[in-house]
Structures are given as C-alpha cells and as structure tokens.
Structure 1
C-alpha cells in the first residue's frame, strides 16, 4: 500500500496543503510546532477513524475557521483509492472513491497504516488501557468486524452498569433486565476475547523475531493475555458461559461499586522480556525495543493478512531511539513506505527519498535524484 497524496484545508495550523509522497522514505523536517505532527495526525485519521490526539473533531478545526477537510489518495493491490473526511458545523462527512459512507467502520480497513510515536512507550509501563487500545486499533485494521463487536459490547456494558448504579442507590430495578444485559454483554465479550487472543498469537510470533534481531539474540519477548475467565478453550459458547458465570458470581461486589468490574474493558496484556514482566523490570532501552518490536510486528501482521505492506508513520521517534535501534528501523525500510517527522534533518538523510520542509503549516518537497 502506498500513500500518494495528502490534502488538508483549515486543519490545525494548515490553511491549505497538498503533499505528494515518494513510495520510499519521506522525511518531514522542521522545528517544533510547525505542523509536522498535524500531517501524521491527518493521515492516521483515515486508518483509525478518529484523531489520536484530539477527543473531539472540533479541536481539529483551524483557528477562526468553520470546519476542516482532509483527503488522501493511495494505491494498493486493488488499484487507486481516495478517502475524504470533513467537518463543517455539526455535519461530518466521509467519502470513499467519491461515494458517501455513513459509519466510521466502513472507512477503517481501506487505508492501512502503522503509527509509532513517543506516547507509545507507555505500552510497557503504562496502564492496561494503553495495551487494550493498542490491540483494539490494530485488530480493527485487520478485522473491521471487530469494531462492531466491541461497539456492541460497550453499549451492553453501559446499559448494565447503569442498572448496577440504580441498584447501588436502592432504586427499584427489574432483575430480568439486568440478566438480559448480562447475557448480551457476555455474548459480545466472547467475540472480543477470541479476536484479541487470535491477534495476540499472530503479533507475538512476529514481535519475538524482531526483538531477537534487535538484541542480537540476547533477549526474548513474549506476551500473555490476562483475563478473569478461567478457560483455555477457543469455543465461543464456553467462553460466553464463563463470562456469564463471572458476572453472576460478582454481582454483589458490582452493585456495591455501581459499575461492571469484569470483562474485556478491564483485561490486560502482560509483556515479558526473558521471562520477567517488562512493566516491572525493563530498562529504558528495553522498553524502546519492545515497542519498536510491537509496532513493526503490527505491520508484519497486516502484510501477512493482506499481502502488502501498510504505510509506516513515525512521528518524532528517531530522537527516542539509540543509534542501534535507529539503524535497525531505517535499514528495514526497503520495500516499505515510511513517513517520518523529525527536527533533525540528519537523522535519516541517507535514507530519505523525499524531504519535505515544514514551516508554519506550509510544506515544500524536494526529491533525491
């Protein structure tokens, strides 16, 4: 998959831009706060369905403007494609190849990219929500059906937790309604659980290989999905019944808390380096190796699934890597499209096919001959 062009109007500090990319390594170079990350944010929005920095689309509108518009042109094994995303007032619009699409799930999976940015380092030392989010976003690009399963799970979770809150306050509630939402929630939970487990198996194989290459075979990397259900079965019905059992047995605790305490929204991934939990024992360098391995493995899983590389977006991460890890990342760029942002033009100058100078939301490209 190759990103050919990114266009934006009234997006963040960008009044208007059209950036054409090389199919190889592209370097967006400029000082801080000039607009490098805004390009990465705009591109990745088409993969994730929303910004990775803003909670609301209204935050993306340029100062004093009424809305914004974004578009990308790309090519994959099926040919050329175009995606558009805009917001004006309260009207949000998405298009694929000129045709309107309603739900964000219809857009996700069309343009596949992998984002690596400094905040990803919290995958190792951060809370469970960081690792769950990594799984959810990564799985969605490979299996768009996951979006609906997880969305339906969250809806059932919200309804069930609302009933628990009523019970906590001593308000009259129909217990049959609680049982119904518990059953619905367990059903979707089993789907989410199985898809997470399956994806984790795939990414574990790739990440372990990459970790060994980075560490010259000195360090091993492994993952374990941490859940409260007590089964190793891959049978959806058994997993569903196990979630129902947990929700039933923990009901008194949940009424006391007024929330649902168990389910995929509380589960976690345990990361191990040489058999030790990385969250407690990993050095700064090891944390960087783990995240680099996970991100490159995310791309490898996409390639295995679709038969072509995703677009790799590296936002100001070269400065976070030592020379060894930086060289590993850049030397692996052959046959892949990298879009890299950096304040230091020398960091990947020897690899860059296209250098884009960024100043105050304006972009000037030059190509290596």
Structure 2
C-alpha cells in the first residue's frame, strides 16, 4: 500500500487539454470549479484522476490529451499527508514516452501510482450503473475493488486471460473437433480464477449494500436501496465445473464461454423493485450518487483515510434539498466539484475558470 494522502493542495498542468500552463490551488474541504461549458472544468478532474489511477476516464490514448500543436503534457500534484508533503508527477511525450515520479523518484509502472492518491469519480453518465448493461455494473464493482484490494488485479487479469484462451480454443474446436480433449485443463483454470473473482465481488457487494442503505435513505428522503450480486454458476467450484461441462456444446456453437463471472450482474432494488426498470432517471442518478458515497465509506473503513471525491456536473439534475444533502455527506472529505453555477450558500473554495 502506498502513502496515504490527506488532501491535494496544488495541481500543476502544462499542455494538458486546453491548459497551456495552469496551477489550481485546492482547500482540504469542498472545492467548486465554476465556469461555462468548454472552459476545462472536467479536464481538471481528469488530471487528478489520471495521476491517481495511471489512466484517463475520457480516453485510452494519452496522445489525445496533449494540447493542440504541442508534443507533450505534464501533470504535477502536491499533496499533504500526516508525515509531510507528498508529490506526484506524470509526463507524457508524443513519442509514447512516459515519466512518472513519486516524491521525486521515478517509477517504472503506472500501477505503482495506485494506493498513493485514492479518488472516487462521479460523472453524469454514471446513472448507467443503474440503467445500463451488466458490463457497466461489473466494471463499477471491479474499479472499486482495484483500489481497496490491489491483489484483486492479479486474479481478475488471470481470469480474463484464461477466458480469452478458452474462447479461442472453442472457436478452434468448431473447426477441429479433435481438440476437444484439451478443454479440461482450461476448465480447471477458469473455474479456479473465476470462483475467486466471484467470491471477492460477492463479499464486496454485501458490504456495499450495507453501506449504501442509510446513505440512500438520507439522500432520497426515505427510499430503501438494496444491492445483490447475481452469479450464474452456483456458489462453489464443483458446481462451476459441472456447469462448464454441461454448457460445452452451446459454448462451441457460440465460440465463447457462457458461464462465469464475466456474465454476472448486480441487481439494484429500490423499495423492493428493480431500479433499472422502475426507477425514474432522477432516482437512478441519486442511486448512482449514493453508490459512490458508499464507496467512499468503504475506502475510509478499509484504508483508514478518505479518498478525494471528484464530481462532474453533479448539481445539474438535483433539487436543492438533495444538493444540500450531498454537501453534508462530503463535508469531512476533500471534494472537487464542477458546475456551471451554484445557488447555495456555504464556506467553500470557489474557483472560477474563464474569468479574467
């Protein structure tokens, strides 16, 4: 586990998106970035997220982040921890060369950034955690687990690697049936890693469901929220193996594995009904926000420190009561919030972009 950051004090940007050379100073509490559309509010959130996770939430191509007509970008963060100042830097050049430093010491892997600055991100499209397809919900759970259980990365990557190899074999068996005898060894591996992934996910969802219940009741004015993890291969490895064997004909026909945690889902119930079907868009957005707030609580309980909460345009579709409830829930942590305008009173650090 890396050094635990208490709060980010300063973010320096060079040739990052629309910023040529810009420094933003943050308070340890609530920071609200105000400005019209296209002035770069979300870009600031992206820079903090990138330096905490090693990747962007907007693009998989770092070259797209470089300011037009430039050939590199740089992000620097100065943060405060209990033992003193902490610094992190991320530089990227057009020739695909990266330079990442933590406290002035260069690191070789982007994954080494994890565990130094914990962040939770809320975007307007996060309502698709509720209304979207199962892959979006699985990604939400996996992203949360990668922060609080770094070893989960290994099991997840191994599972998907074996899954890809088994799927390739299934396609080859359709052309060459004599290869079928080799399936058993892949079934053993996929069952071993799959049961690990599903077990870790299921335990996390149980914790998440407990954490989110009170948060959502408070945020929504009394609605009951429950989260359940739905597996499609039983609850033990023997049942998993049997289902893999019984589905082999279908798997060969489709050229893909139809059983396993890559097909699991998370059921979200609002007052006992499926939120994906029965909740309004406003309710779905509130559920997504409640899930993010619950994730903060879980990180605090597991890590002992609060993550930085990054919220993009969170106020646009919330009524005043829910806005104030959100602000109350995040008053004890550092948050960076983007908005076009805000019509609430509070002792917040307000940063105005696009104002001379």
Length-normalised TM-score, structure 2: 0.92
Distance 1:43 1:10 in 2: 15
1:28 is aligned to 2:36: no
Aligned residue in 2 for 1:110: 116
Tell me the equivalent position of 1:180.
Answer: 185
Q: Is 1:356 matched with 2:341? A: no
Per-residue deviation, residues 90-134 of structure 1 (Å, max 9, x unmatched) = 223332222233333322122111111101011111111111111
Q: How many residues align?
A: 350
> How far off is 1:177 after superposition?
4.2
The residue aligned with 1:75 is 80
Q: How does 1:56-95 map to 2 (within 5 A)?
A: 56-77=61-82, 79-88=84-93, 89-95=95-101
* Change beyond 3 A, Cα 1:257–1:202: same
2:353 counterpart SS class:
strand
Give the Å deviation of 1:79: 4.3
Structure 2 counterpart of 1:235:
none
RMSD: 1.9
Q: Tell whether the 8 Å contact from 1:318 to 1:347 is kept in structure 2 after alignment.
A: no
Report the secondary structure of 1:261's partner residue. Answer: coil
1:220 maps to 2:224 = yes
For 1:318, what is the secondary structure of its paired residue?
Answer: coil
| Separation of aligned partners in 2, 1:128 and 1:111 | 28
Q: Distance in 2 between matches of 1:175 and 1:84?
A: 50
Flag structure 1 segments of 5+ consecutive residues without an equivalent: 232-238, 365-369
Deviations 1:9-31 (A, max 9, x none): 22211212221211111111111
1:164 aligns with 2:161: no
The yes-or-no answer on 1:190 pairing with 2:195 is yes
Match of 1:236 in 2: none
- Determine the structure 1 residue equivalent to 2:3: none
Please say if 1:229 is aligned against 2:233: yes
Contact kept in structure 2, 1:27 and 1:352, CA below 8 Å: no
Distance 1:8-1:242 versus aligned 2 partners, 3 A rule: farther
Secondary structure, counterpart of 1:196 in structure 2: helix
Per the normalisation by structure 1, the TM-score is 0.89
Select between 74-83 and 201-210 the one with higher mean Cα deviation: 74-83
Is 2:172–2:179's contact at 8 Å kept on the other side of the alignment?
A: no
Question: In 2, Cα distance between the equivalents of 1:179 and 1:17?
Answer: 57
